């Protein structure tokens, strides 16, 4: 059974005074609101202005690996890393 959508969350911006970025390994996926990835399955949650969650549709084993959210605040940057583990068999 394929996973249709996964949301990597817990990445929040602070009152519009910060900018975020999502990276997969060393590749930038999103920088602020600009999408750097050419993968059409990847997007940023738009539930509210502070939510900066990464969404991946039709998750595949190639999506396995570390994802890092970096948020630039007025004081210091904050980073949060999540390791996505995808297990499955392709027929």
Q: pTM of the prediction? A: 0.81
Residue-wise pLDDT tens digits, 7-61 = 777 788 877 667 899 999 889 999 988 999 999 999 998 778 888 899 999 888 8
Residue 50 belongs to domain with CATH number: 2.60.40.10
Is 60 within the bounds of a domain?
Answer: yes
Is 90 within the bounds of a domain?
Answer: no
- Local structure of 61: helix, strand or coil: helix
Query: Which strands form 77-84's sheet, in the order they lie side by side?
Result: 34-35, 27-31, 19-24, 65-72, 77-84
Predicted confidence at residue 2, as pLDDT, reads 62
Total count of domains within the chain: 1
Predicted confidence at residue 91, as pLDDT, reads 47
Question: Does residue 3 register a pLDDT over 90?
Answer: no
Q: What is the gyration radius of the CA atoms in the chain, in angstroms? A: 13
Is 49 within the bounds of a domain?
Answer: yes
Predicted confidence at residue 47, as pLDDT, reads 78
Query: In this predicted model, which residue has the larger pLDDT, 51 or 88?
Result: 51
Question: Does residue 68 register a pLDDT over 50?
Answer: yes
């Amino acid at each position: 059974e394929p996973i249709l959508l996964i949301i990597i969350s817990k990445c929040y911006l602070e009152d519009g005074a910060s900018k975020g970025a999502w990276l997969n390994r060393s590749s930038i996926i999103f920088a602020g609101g600009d999408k750097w990835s050419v993968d059409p399955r990847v997007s940023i949650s738009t539930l509210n202005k502070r939510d900066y969650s990464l969404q991946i549709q039709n998750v595949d084993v190639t999506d396995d690996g570390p994802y890092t959210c970096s948020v630039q605040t007025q004081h210091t940057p904050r980073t949060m890393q999540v390791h996505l583990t995808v297990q499955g068999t392709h027929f």
